Copies of this chain bind each other. A is one copy, B any other.
Amino acid sequence: MGLRLAARVSVRLVSVRLVSGHDGHRPQTLRVPPRWAPPPTCRSTSSARTTTPASLNPTAFLDAAIDEAELGLAEGGIPIGAVLVHQGKILGRGHNRRVQQGSVVLHGEMDALERAGRQRASVYRECTLYTTLSPCAMCSGTILLYGIPHVVIGENRTFQGEEELLRSRGVNVEVLQDERCIALMTRFIAAQPGLWAEDIGE
């Protein structure tokens, strides 16, 4: 197992602001924050995969979520991925960032929503969220906040999230028990039980 040291230096514009005060109806802040700046042209992990043809069948969206989970694993992270789909197109795709970014809020579902960016309520209400694993209380609460009506879950054998809460609020919840999703999490939990426990607050 060889160790590799990679160092990279970037020079980038941190902020360009037009400040007009905060009492107006539309703040003119165009600030690009230094701490959490999305890619300038695309919020997806891979710009080539931002959108998906409307004809893509639903299985392909779970495949995209699994791709994200595997990408997270390859980064040394927790292998959970998700995609937010609106009218047959992926608005945002993401994966768990606990290890990679030290994030306690960017579960796969949250990352997908974050990368989809600010959307109108009417858009969320026509969306389906595909996730490789049953959504925890945080992700389920976020689904409720934004009124996402349909959630497709890769599996709930390795972790049972807040599916009943979602159903009790009218969300259509489907669980596919996909063998690839089960295998990803089974191997990960066996390999890194402490990290997994941290991710679910245990």
B18→A13 contact, CB < 8 A: no
A104→B116 contact, CB < 8 A: yes
Closest beta carbon of chain B to A42's beta carbon, Å: 12
Closest beta carbon of chain B to A119's beta carbon, Å: 7
B201→A145 contact, CB < 8 A: yes
Bound: A18/B4 CA distance, A:
5
A33 partner residues in chain B, CB cutoff 8 A: 97, 100-101
**Chain B residue with Cβ nearest A36:** B36
B38→A38 contact, CB < 8 A: no
Cβ of A16 within 8 Å of any chain B Cβ, yes or no, is yes
How many chain copies? 2
Most B CB within 10 A of own CB, among A20, A102, A117: A102
Given contacts A136-B145, A141-B139, contact A28 B3 (CB under 8 A): yes
Which one, B10, B17, B145, contacts A34 given CB within 8 A? B10
Please name 12 pairs of A and B residues whose Cβ atoms are closer than 8 Å in the assembled complex, sorted by A. A3-B19, A5-B16, A9-B11, A10-B12, A25-B191, A28-B76, A31-B100, A36-B101, A104-B117, A104-B118, A124-B201, A137-B145
| 13 new A-B contacts at CB < 8 Å, known A22-B74, A35-B37 | A3-B19, A3-B20, A6-B15, A6-B16, A8-B13, A9-B11, A9-B12, A36-B97, A104-B113, A104-B114, A138-B141, A138-B144, A146-B201
